[in-house]
Structure formats: C-alpha cells, structure tokens
Amino acid sequence: MAPSTVGERTRTWVPDWPCSVAQVLRPQRRGAGDPTQRHEESGRIWRAMRTPTGPASLCVHQRPSTGGVHARAWGAGADWALEHLPRLLGAHDDPSGFEPHHHPEVAQGWRTHGHWRIGATGLVMESLVPSILEQKVTGKQAFGSFRELVRRHGEPAPGPVAPLRLMLQPTPATIAAIPSWEWLRLGVQPAQSRTVVTACRLASSLERITEVPADEADRRLRSVRGIGVWTSAEVRQRALGDPDAVSFGDYHLANWVGWALVGHDITDEEMAELLEPYRPQRGRAAAMAMAGGRSRPRRGPRMSIPTHLPTR
C-alpha cells in the first residue's frame, strides 16, 4: 500500500480466484439505506468501520479487466482496513475440504457457485449490534431502527464521503448510554435494547472472539444474556467468516433448505439433521443447497433469500 492524495491510502490486491466483490460484501449491508455501507452504480462500494486502530472509510472497486481489486482508505484505521482487505473479501475462507456430494442439490450449487467465498470483517460489534436489532422483527423494521441509530448517534466517516452521507456506527460507549425512551423512538423493543446495551458494555472482551476457534466464539457470544443461537451465527458469519455457522431459529431458513433438499417445509431439527454430514461447513452446505435446489413456492408475500447466501 502507498500514500496517494492527502490523508488517503491505497492498495491494489489480486485474488487467486474469481472474487465477486459485490457478492462477498452484500451480507455486510443492512438494507439499501444502510448509512455504513454504500453501493454506487459504478460498482464502487464504500464502508465505514471502527477498526482497532481508529475509524476508517474504505472504498473498494473491482477491476474485471485485470482481476484486481483497487481500494482506497482514509482515517486513523486506514492502514488496518487495507491490510485486512483480503480477509474482508474471503481470502481466509478455505473451502478445500468441502464435500458437497451428500445431496445432489448441494453438488449442483457447488458446481455453479464454487467460487463463492465468505468474507470476514474481523469486527464483532459492527455485526453484533444490528444482528440484535434484527431479532424477532421484520427486516424492514430492523433496518429502519439501525439506520436511525446510526444517523442520530453515529458520526460522519472520515475522508471525502460527505456526498454519500457515509457514517460510522456509534461507539459501544455511546450506545450503552442511550436512554430507554430513545430506544423506543428508534423502534427498538426493551428486550432488544437491554441486550444491545449489555453487549456494548462487554465490547472489549467480545471483540476478542476473533482470536479464538469458532466454537469458543459461539460459547462466549451466547454467554451474554439475550444472545442466542441465531444471533451468534449471524455474527460469526460476518465477523469471523465461519463456514459452519447456521442461523437456526431464522423465520425462513429451514423452509428454504427444506424445499431445496426434500421438497417441503421442515423444522430446524430436521434441517440440523440434513446438514450434519457437512460439519464443519454446514453454513456453506445450506448456501449451496439453496443455490442448486428447488425454490420454495410463493405463498403470500415473497420471501427474500438470506443476504449471506449466494444469489441464484
């Protein structure tokens, strides 16, 4: 990496597989109005992050002609953001031991999406706060609450990002000090706000789960009151890039996997049984099943496929 304009750092990285930047970064975006991640029609993706070395803005632009990824960053955390760019885009995700042949649908998904990788931000609270807000509510409601939380209590991201209105999530200390009546204004129920505040008070220790194996990270996350299997999986997928993380308890996931593999709705317990042969890459297997299997018939409002899975 090298300095460019004043306050800007740059890096060009060439992955050794056909990396789709937009697809890998899509799960990190919390709805189209997410103030912390902006997608431009030109293909540039902007992210605002609180790194261990300070705030950073990161602009990532894929260059299909060369296969490279060009990145620019600003702020005290710029060097950290650029150093961790490969991990963010899936370079640490190793699918070499994945055996997709227990189900033909998984094998088909793997044939068509074999280059899909799971990115990892390495930033736990960045994923944990919005994941808690998404507990037991609609995506639209959760995205709206998160958007307002960032707008009211966050701060502008560093660098030339004013036209994008790119903003940083509030610090854990700021979130922990938000009064109960303000959470209600944000559309967040007391059970969720209590969990968010508790987690933010433990932020420094929770950030360290990136240093331990995934099963230990899961245990530590779920030791926090209000954080269960679903929330832990959502965080491990995004922050750790855990290929075994499955969002059990999700309103849609078991039925999507059920229709992909056996042609009907199933329970979480049945999904766990179907995915067990793929351990320690059950999350990857679920993604490949939905990519290669049947879609659940539409019944009422259309259900969108979970954002951490590849598009068909």
**Nearest to residue 17, comparing CAs of 85, 80, 91?**
91
Predicted local confidence at residue 136, as pLDDT: 86
pLDDT at residue 128 is higher than 90: yes
Please provide the CATH number assigned to the domain covering 2-93.
3.30.310.10
Predicted local confidence at residue 298, as pLDDT: 73
Predicted local confidence at residue 1, as pLDDT: 47
Q: By mean pLDDT, which of 62-66, 139-143, 187-191 is the weakest?
A: 62-66
Predicted local confidence at residue 2, as pLDDT: 44
Give CA–CA dist 102/43, Å, rounded.
37
Predicted local confidence at residue 64, as pLDDT: 83
Residues 70 and 61 sit within 8 Å (Cβ to Cβ): yes
Q: What is the mean pLDDT of the chain?
A: 93
Q: Which residues contact 45 (CB under 8 A, 6 or more apart)?
A: 21, 22, 25, 37, 38, 39, 59, 60, 61
* The two three-digit tokens of residue 121, written as one number: 């931000």
Predicted local confidence at residue 301, as pLDDT: 46
C-beta atoms surrounding 61 within 10 Å: 17
SS3 16: coil
pLDDT at residue 308 is higher than 60: no
Dump pLDDT digits (tens) for 31-48.
999 999 999 999 999 999
**Average pLDDT of the segment spanning 175-195:** 96
Q: Where do the CATH 1.10.340.30 domains begin and end in the chain?
A: 124-240
Percent of the chain surpassing pLDDT 70:
94
**Average pLDDT of the segment spanning 62-67:** 85
pLDDT at residue 303 is higher than 70: no
Buried b (16+ CB within 10 A) or exposed e, 257-284: bbbbbbeeebebebbeebbeebeebbbb
pLDDT-based confidence at residue 80 (cuts at 50, 70, 90): very high
Predicted local confidence at residue 122, as pLDDT: 98
Predicted local confidence at residue 297, as pLDDT: 87
pLDDT-based confidence at residue 310 (cuts at 50, 70, 90): low
Burial class (CB in 10 A: 0-12, 13-18, 19+), 141: middle
Predicted local confidence at residue 66, as pLDDT: 84
CA distances from 238 to 155, 285, 310 (A): 23, 17, 14
Dump pLDDT digits (tens) for 15-35.
999 999 999 999 999 999 999
> Which residues pair with residue 2 across a beta bridge?
10
Give CA–CA dist 196/133, Å, rounded.
8
Q: Where do the CATH 3.30.310.10 domains begin and end in the chain?
A: 2-93
Q: Which fold has domain 124-240?
A: Endonuclease III; domain 1 (1.10.340)
Dump pLDDT digits (tens) for 271-288.
999 999 999 999 999 999
pLDDT at residue 139 is higher than 70: yes
pTM, full prediction: 0.92
Give CA–CA dist 165/156, Å, rounded.
7
pLDDT-based confidence at residue 302 (cuts at 50, 70, 90): very low
**Nearest to residue 222, comparing CAs of 241, 249, 186, 251?**
249
Dump pLDDT digits (tens) for 216-250.
999 999 999 999 999 999 999 999 999 999 999 99
* The two three-digit tokens of residue 136, written as one number: 């037991």
